[in-house]
Homo-oligomer: A and B are copies of this chain.
Amino acid sequence: MIQNFEFYNPTRLIFGKEKIETLSKYLPLGSKIMLLYGKSSIKKNGIYDKVKLTLKSFNHIEFGGIEPNPVYETLMQAVELARKEKVDFLLPVGGGSVIDGAKFIAAAIPFEGSDPWTIVSEKAPVKSAVPFGTILTLPATGSEMNSGAVITRNSTKEKFAFGSVHTFPKFSILDISVLNSLPKNQIANGIADAFIHTTEQYMTYPINAQLQDRMAESILKTLISEGPKVLSDNIDEEAGANFMYSATMALNGIISMGVPTDWSIHIIGHELTVLYGIDHGRTLAIILPSLYKRKIGDKIAKLSQFAERVWNINNGSNMEKALKAIEKTEEFFNSVGISTHLKDYGDNIDLEFTVKEIISRFKSRNIKGLGEKGIVTLADIENILRDSW
């Protein structure tokens, strides 16, 4: 049951302490650089000042205000500015949203079609992109070492992924000092995000891909052991490094080589972010327990392996182990301060409306089933949303 695969990942990873200070080594000389960032957080935590100190020696402009869940309408303003100013290198400084946004901007600047939104909505071919390097300020999405991005369009409340061989970062700087200035709820989001990126590439069905399985389990065990230590007031520096590296490895293509993947939790979770603005990582933690319970029959082999190897649950039937592992996973999310119940995310959320709206959106996109082998049907999704309440 071997699956063929191709792996290619040319991003240079620059990891450790005081690495933001080495930025100038990696920037192309003679370029017109566009610094990209989000809201004001990098101005408060000192990262903006550090980066600007280096950029003094480079011809550059800046564009701030990229939103969490980056928005097409905003990104197109950056595209217009970059075209006008003949920018030829982008430097996103931020978390997954700013980096994802940069990928869209990079692809849209030279895009020759009439409407750059088609890159996202219709997977219009990306024939080239402006090169870019990143400074990661929030370990979570793995965007710093992959070519994918998720972009939201406000006017249509749509949220889609795209990716291209041209949208790998040239380099990404992972400086562990950024953890010190992060709000704890964002670190918790990152833990959930990295964890569920991993399970999406693991919790399917066994194909005897032993090394890929063990590597995924390695990431999960490291997140369980190290994540909580990064939430304490005095961040354990080694735990921080382990967490940061795990989040990158969770979605740089290594653990998915030649194995089936799921991604149904992401696709359902994205809808909760679009509808209610719930943080991405939290939407995943809301959906995971009820989805795994509903599809326990299909996923029993991997769920029980996960129980044994990740949670050291060695007693009981496979079904009992699987259920216990789902329970432990839910407890883990709760332990880092993440509720796994939709009702906890705001009084404005109505379950019936949510179910109706999401099912209707999926129908309009002609979705019949999600996940490996399309096993998560629309009827399942309705049940999963209700169970997640």
Question: Contact: A211 with B5, CB < 8 Å?
Answer: no
A8-16, A56-64, A330-338 - the one binding chain B = A8-16
Asked if A7 and B12 make an inter-chain contact with CB atoms under 8 angstroms apart, the answer reads: yes
Which of the candidate stretches A32-40, A215-223, A379-387 sits at the interface with the other chain? A215-223
Given the contacts A2-B238, A242-B209, A242-B211, A258 and B15 also touching, CB distance less than 8 Å:
yes
Chain B residues whose C-beta falls within 8 Å of the C-beta of A222 in the assembled complex:
210-211, 214
Q: Identify the closest chain B residue to A241 (Cβ).
A: B2
**Chain B proximity of A181: nearest CB distance (Å):** 18
Identical copies of this chain, number: 2
A257 within 8 A of B: yes
Using a CB-CB cutoff of 8 Å, which residues 69-106 of chain A contact chain B? Answer: none
Asked whether A245 and B211 contact (CB < 8 A) given A2-B176, A2-B238, A238-B2, the answer is yes
In the complex, what distance in Å separates the CA atom of A2 from the CA atom of B16? Answer: 7
The reply to whether A12 and B8 contact each other, CB–CB distance below 8 Å, is yes
Enumerate A173-222 residues with CB–CB distance to B below 8 Å. 176, 207-212, 214-215, 217-219, 221-222
Closest to A216 in B: B218
Cβ contact within 8 Å between B15 and A257: yes
A340 within 8 A of B: no
Chain B residues near A225: list those with CB within 8 A. Answer: 210
Q: How far is the CB of A289 from chain B (nearest CB, A)?
A: 25
A146 nearest CB across to chain B (Å): 14
Asked if A368 is an interface residue, CB under 8 A from chain B, the answer is no
* Complex CA–CA separation, A260 to B3 (angstroms): 34
B218-A214 in contact (CB<8A): yes
Q: Which residue of B lies closest to A220 (CB)?
A: B214
> A6-B13, A211-B218 known; 11 other A-B pairs, CB under 8 Å?
A1-B238, A2-B238, A2-B241, A4-B19, A6-B15, A8-B10, A210-B221, A210-B242, A211-B245, A211-B246, A214-B221
